[in-house]
Amino acid sequence: MFTLAEVASLNDIQPTYRILKPWWDVFMDYLAVVMLMVAIFAGTMQLTKDQVVCLPVLQSAVNSKAQPSISGNADVTPGFETTTDQDKGMAMRTVSFESAPTITPDIPLSRTTYSQLQSTVSNQEPKNEKQDSSGRKTNLDYQQYIFINQMCYHLALPWYSKYFPYLALIHTIILMVSSNFWFKYPKTCSKIEHFVSILGKCFESPWTTKALSETACEDSEENKQRLTGAQSLPKHVSTSSDEGSPSASTPMITKTGFKFSAEKPVIEVPSMTILDKKDGEQAKALFEKVRKFRAHVEDSDLIYKLYVVQTVIKTVKFIFILCYTANFVNEISFEHNCKPKVEHLTGYKEFECTHNMAYMLKKLLISYISLICVYGFVCLYTLFWLFRIPLKEYSFEKVREESSFSDIPDVKNDFAFLLHMVDQYDQLYSKRFGVFLSEVSENKLREISLNHEWTFEKLRQHVSRNAQDKQELHLFMLSGVPDAVFDLTDLDVLKLELIPEAKIPAKISQMTNLQELHLCHCPAKVEQTAFSFLRDNLRCLHVKFTDVAEIPAWVYLLKNLRELYLIGNLNSENNKMIGLESLRELRHLKILHVKSNLTKVPTNITDVAPHLTKLVIHNDGTKLVVLNSLKKMMNVAELELQNCELERIPHAIFSLSNLQDLDLKSNSIRTIEEVISFQHLKRLTCLKLWHNKIVNIPSSITHVKNLESLYLSNNKLESLPVAVFSLQKLRCLDVSYNSIAAIPVEIGLLQNLQHLHITGNKVDILPKQLFKCVKLRTLSLGQNCITSIPDKIGQLVQLTHLELKGNCLDRLPAMLGQCRLLRKSGLVVEDHLFDTLPSEVKEVLNQDTSITFANGI
């Protein structure tokens, strides 16, 4: 047999699950335990004491009956016979005889027990013989009585009298299993376990207490201001017609959740904002767990359906038990009539039997029915509760009203049902849990943790000097912008990268030196005061984005901005969504740099044409087809169209009368016959056609008389035309990485040439006329086929950089010593060739110099 504790364990759950047990589930659990005790008690009594005692009914007694009572069973007639005094005496004798130890009908008689009974009977027989016989003799021995008792136990007793304890036990176990099945079923158990774990951590988290405490402090502060008749706060957004004021769509910081104000900052209680680093990390992990759990659980309603099903099963079970049990209550009787059809063994057809457990079983059955009725009414109430309100929807409206977390979302499906169950235990759990569903709360936590981690001293250590010798701070992948950043008043450049929740407060107005801001995948929001400061003081802005929606709208309202760099997807399909029409507000914009995948130059760029001096378009290989808008950029001095898959020089460029610098790098230009049109561009001084597919240079290039720099590297040139050397103002010529086999002698005509790059060609001889270019400062001759360097190289007295590596030289000329500005650091050559120089030349090349170059390179 099993103990009560072992069976009751079916009704046991983990202690942490008790928060999901409403009062009716707890009450039904206790009722089930009581029913279990009744069933086990009845079963124990039946196994140990249940029996029937039978006596034969004599024929004379049967004949004397006036109206025999007929039972529902053909073989069993319940009733009690009273006959003559002789019959009573016989009955008394039989009862006296039966007072010997009895054996239950279901248990076989062991040999030892039988011998004990036999000895007891033999000891009583002499005494009975001495007494006067007052009853009837039945002529039955003890074994026959045992046999009759066992036969009549099975034939005369109703089946419910014999099996009631076992049925009650089975029903109770089924009810116990039904009550807690949703805690055991694998597909729901994991979700419930995860929910209870998260709920407990949220309830005990220090951040919950701090967040709710700050809410209480803010509410009390607001009430105090209202009671004292304090004046209303200044408006964040000006309603006047001040130019450059942000529109309604401008992403400013709005007053949701925790209130941020530029003119009147939030009063912070130090004890509430200080959070241990460990507690902060645990709280941030909880926010992430809650977010993932919500996404996982809200997709289904399996827990809700399973709970409804198990409640319906318990209700149906209650109705079934009540219906069939009520019919058998009256069948449990103390007296029974038995006709076992064993006359050939005993000589009697009918026996009168008594069931000694009848009264006890009847009382236990009535108690069991009473408990089942109570259990059933509780099940009906549960069903009423389940369908009275929509349990697959849960609203945090009350929590939103009592706190400043107005953004706590309503939940649905299993998530909502679990919260409804928790409310039946304690509504405080849901209130504290709601804190971790609020984005405002999460942002506040991040802000506190961020400010605690990134102190002023730590930020000062990350400040560096950039190439322009400006103080620069780069913040990467943070949850926000630390407040201490705005205390760095001497900062020149601020870079914010991958900070999705960046907010720029009014404190930025302290950074009087700030003129350059980088927003890399960082759609920053600004307060009104901060926007006013940026509008008046910011000079350079870099915005890197993936989607056009990441570009803050206030960017196009910075009226004093000088340089704007846009890096991201701005193809022609999205041009209408970019908002470039707002560029008309950028009245002082001088430089516009667009790195994207444009197929045409946006017409909106012409809004800034009157004051734009530099336009840079870097494509990712997308072919730039439409360039008509360039004709209106009359004041552009520098134009770069890189990696735009251009096959010819666009005609729109020839209308830019103020153009000085043209860069068409990394395109697919094969011919430059249109170069003759450059003669109309009187101010053009620099032409960069590098990294293209140009095969030859037309002689018409000689008409571009003001050209000072010509870059033709990484093309397919095989020769240099004489016309190139007629450009008397040319100071820089770069023809590196082509297939040029010889340098024309006309190169000596370029008396103003200062930088010559012929690296990566097939030149084998250097003409002597080359060394007439006495103003040369840079001479790159590496990776050619040169076998010797003429001694006239000593005439290049201003030479500071000489590249000879990768040629076929066997020695260097000693005349290199006359190049008084050349040092070893500027001489790019193999070590063994350097060793061929005379020692005095090497000493000159190795010595340090502090000479200041008057003209610069």
Q: What is the pLDDT of residues 177-233, one digit of tens each?
A: 888 888 888 888 888 888 888 888 888 887 777 766 665 555 554 544 444 444 443
Which residues partner with 564 through β-bridges? 541, 592
789 neighbors 804 (Cβ within 8 angstroms): yes
pLDDT value at position 135?
Answer: 61
pLDDT value at position 218?
Answer: 54
556 neighbors 579 (Cβ within 8 angstroms): yes
Between the CA of residue 295 and those of 300, 305, 396, 441, 683, what are the distances in Å? 10, 19, 17, 19, 63
369 neighbors 322 (Cβ within 8 angstroms): yes
pLDDT value at position 151?
Answer: 86
Distance CA 646, CA 669 (A): 6
pLDDT value at position 75?
Answer: 41
Q: Is the pTM of this model over 0.75?
A: no
CB burial of 486-519 (b: ≥16 within 10 Å; e: otherwise) equals: bebeebbbbbbbebebbbbbbbbbebeebbbbbb
pLDDT value at position 276?
Answer: 66
| Share above pLDDT 70 across residues of the chain, in percent, rounded to a whole number | 79
Q: Does residue 560 surpass a pLDDT of 70?
A: yes
Residue 368: Cβ within 10 Å count? 23
**Homologous superfamily of 717-849:** Ribonuclease Inhibitor (3.80.10.10)
pLDDT value at position 59?
Answer: 66
Q: Does residue 242 surpass a pLDDT of 50?
A: no
pLDDT value at position 86?
Answer: 37
The answer to which of 4-13, 355-364, 828-837 has the lowest mean pLDDT is 4-13
| Share above pLDDT 90 across residues of the chain, in percent, rounded to a whole number | 35
**CB neighbour list of residue 489: distance below 8 Å, 6 or more residues apart:** 510, 511, 512, 513
pLDDT value at position 856?
Answer: 40
405 neighbors 215 (Cβ within 8 angstroms): yes
Q: Does residue 289 surpass a pLDDT of 90?
A: no
Read off the pLDDT band of 579 (50, 70, 90).
very low
Highest mean pLDDT among 77-86, 577-586, 832-841: 832-841
Q: Does residue 117 surpass a pLDDT of 50?
A: no
Read off the pLDDT band of 5 (50, 70, 90).
low
Highest mean pLDDT among 105-109, 344-348, 574-578: 344-348
Nearest to 653 by CA among 623, 622, 632: 632
Segment 690-707 shows an average pLDDT of 92
Segment 773-777 shows an average pLDDT of 94
430 neighbors 195 (Cβ within 8 angstroms): no
Between the CA of residue 222 and those of 219, 268, 506, 737, what are the distances in Å? 5, 13, 22, 73
840 neighbors 817 (Cβ within 8 angstroms): yes
Higher pLDDT among residues 778 and 12, named by residue: 778
pLDDT value at position 196?
Answer: 87
pLDDT value at position 322?
Answer: 86
Segment 701-707 shows an average pLDDT of 91
Average predicted confidence (pLDDT) for the chain: 79
Strand 393-394 versus strand 411-412 pairing type = antiparallel
Highest mean pLDDT among 48-62, 107-121, 239-253, 347-361: 347-361
Q: Does residue 669 surpass a pLDDT of 60?
A: yes
Pair of tokens at residue 26: 């707890």
- pLDDT tens for 20-36 read 888 998 999 899 999 99
The answer to which of 119-123, 740-744, 830-834 has the lowest mean pLDDT is 119-123
- 853 φ, ψ (degrees, to nearest 5): -80, 125
Segment 348-354 shows an average pLDDT of 86
Q: Does residue 277 surpass a pLDDT of 90?
A: no
Domain ranges of the chain: 4-57+157-184+309-389, 717-849
CATH architecture of 4-57+157-184+309-389: Up-down Bundle (1.20)
Read off the pLDDT band of 14 (50, 70, 90).
low
765 neighbors 740 (Cβ within 8 angstroms): no
- pLDDT tens for 402-461 read 777 778 888 889 888 999 998 888 888 888 888 888 887 777 877 888 888 889 999 999
